[in-house]
Amino acid sequence: MQNEVHRLLEELRRAVTRPWSVMEVCGGQTHAIASLGMEELLPPELRLIHGPGCPVCVTAVDLIDQAVELSLRPGVVLCTYGDMMRVPGSNGDLFSAKARGGKVLLMYSPLEAVAFAGSHPGMDVVFFAVGFETTAPATALAMQQARALGYANFSVLCAHVQVPPALEWLMEQDEGRPDAFLAPGHVCAITGEEDYGRLAVRYRAPMVVTGFEAPDLLRGMLMCVRQLEAGECTVRNAYGRYVKPEGNKEARKRMQEVFEPEDRHWRGLGLIPGGGMKVRREWEGMDASLRFGCGKSGHGADEASGCLAGQVLRGLLHPEECPFFGTSCTPLAPLGAPMVSGEGACAAYYRYKRN
């Protein structure tokens, strides 16, 4: 691997003849870049921009508030991933709700929540479903399994979001527009390449499907630069060992059976047309927002704290440029979601780059 990294770095240095900016839109890639010290190794003309590639980080304050409200309701158990516990809402986070008597359980999979619902028929079990298209098929499978087993006490608070509409939104902005994108390999393993190819042509911005190891990332950057230097704009796949052009048809089928697109507030960005998923009408009995009539807090996509996380998520501000970074904002006392999540850019730089 080391020889491959040296070779790719040398090819990058030879390929770059002018300044270019490339945005990676996966938090896992951001953490890999930070942990490997990759930015220091790249040609000075090549600038990396860290995008909104963390589904936990972009979950709107209103949905956090609904999760907190549900956890505090008598007879309701809220199940969620560990990353969601410290994401601040307008009235605290799920940790503080648990301290106030809320029933919150950590789960590694929505199927665990289904099993819990089956073994606790006297409780209403709500799974707080968060993630890109990568995790949505598993949520859909859990809902289908719960229905097949007759677990009427299982429902989902859906916070799933879709990546291509967010990239389209970013490309429509007047500032901070990248020249090219490293598309998220784990998402494309489900969805395939088609949407990214359409965006590449429409906005004349190369898109390269990329993995998470150093050679994957460098190969993706090199393929972006070569397109930019040649004036090309299409989708390329640097992660072919896992990603097929058509994606995973069975996973997409399950996801589309249960969910459909909707306009969604992304925390720190705003309202993104088609940026979210909602439960289809024929599955509304498992939509926790409808089942429990969760009240809207009035907080959309902005950070409840008023911190600068939105600029970080849009790639307009480097985490270390934030005046709160590492002082009043730390993983133990976060002001914004990017300092909380295991995929957040601020958390990555706090862990790997803090002086």
The C-alpha atoms of residue 334 and residue 316 are separated, in whole angstroms, by 20
Strands (E), 185-224: 207-210
- Please, what's the b/e burial string for 295-323 (b: 16 or more CB within 10 A of its CB; e: otherwise)? eebebbbbbbbebbbbebbbbebbbeebe
C-alpha to C-alpha distance for 56 and 97, rounded to whole angstroms: 18
Which single residue is written with the structure tokens 């429409």? 202
Which comes out higher in pLDDT, residue 296 or 91? 91
* Proportion of the chain in helix, strand, coil states, percent, rounded to 5: 45, 20, 35
Instruction: Classify domain 1-342 at the CATH topology level.
Output: Rossmann fold (3.40.50)
Q: How sure is the predictor about 299, in pLDDT bands with cuts at 50, 70 and 90?
A: low
Confidence of residue 301 (pLDDT cuts 50, 70, 90): low
Assign 205 a pLDDT band (cuts: 50, 70, 90). Answer: very high
pLDDT digits (tens, 9 = 90+) for 102-115: 999 999 999 999 99
Residue 18 has a pLDDT of 95
User: Cα-Cα-Cα-Cα dihedral of 76, 77, 81, 82, to 10°?
Assistant: 110
Q: Where are the beta strands (DSSP E) in 267-329?
A: 270-279
Lowest mean pLDDT among 86-100, 136-150, 218-232: 86-100
Domain boundaries in the chain?
1-342
Separation in Å, CA 323 to CA 328, 330, 336, 343: 9, 12, 13, 21
Q: How confident is the model at residue 272 (pLDDT cuts 50, 70, 90)?
A: very high
C-alpha pair distances (Å), 153 with each of 43, 150, 332: 56, 9, 34
Which pLDDT belongs to residue 340?
84
Give the pLDDT score at 354. Answer: 63
Strand partners, 50: 24
Mean pLDDT of 117-137: 97
Q: Which residue has the tokens 């598993």?
A: 138
% residues pLDDT > 90 (the chain):
73
Separation between Cα atoms, residue 288 and residue 206, nearest integer Å: 39
pLDDT digits (tens, 9 = 90+) for 314-355: 888 889 899 999 888 898 888 888 888 778 899 999 988 765
Average pLDDT over the chain, rounded to an integer: 92
- Give the separation between CA 20 and CA 47, rounded to whole angstroms: 6
Whether residue 195 has pLDDT greater than 90: yes
Rounded Cα distance, 88 and 93, in Å: 5
Degrees, nearest 5: CA angle 222-228-230: 105
> pLDDT confidence of 227, banded at 50, 70, 90?
very high
Query: Could you tell me which residues are beta bridge partners of residue 126?
Result: 78, 155
- Residue 297: which pLDDT band, with cuts at 50, 70 and 90? low
C-alpha 30/C-alpha 25 separation (Å) is 8
- What's the pLDDT score for residue 315? 87
What's the mean pLDDT in 244-258? Answer: 96
Q: Does the pLDDT value for residue 303 go beyond 60?
A: no
Strands (E), the chain: 20-24, 46-50, 76-80, 104-106, 124-131, 154-160, 180-184, 207-210, 235-237, 259-266, 270-279
For residue 107, give both structure tokens. 């789960």
pLDDT recorded at residue 258: 98
Report yes or no: 93 and 85 within 8 Å, Cβ to Cβ. yes
What is the pLDDT confidence band of residue 289, given thresholds at 50, 70 and 90?
very high
Q: How far is residue 129's CA from residue 113's CA, in Å, rounded to a whole number? A: 11
Beta-carbon contacts of 119 under 8 Å, excluding residues fewer than 6 positions away, are none
Tell me the mean pLDDT in the region 39-68.
Answer: 92
Distance, CA of 72 to CA of 84 (rounded, Å): 16
Structure tokens at 199: 């965006």
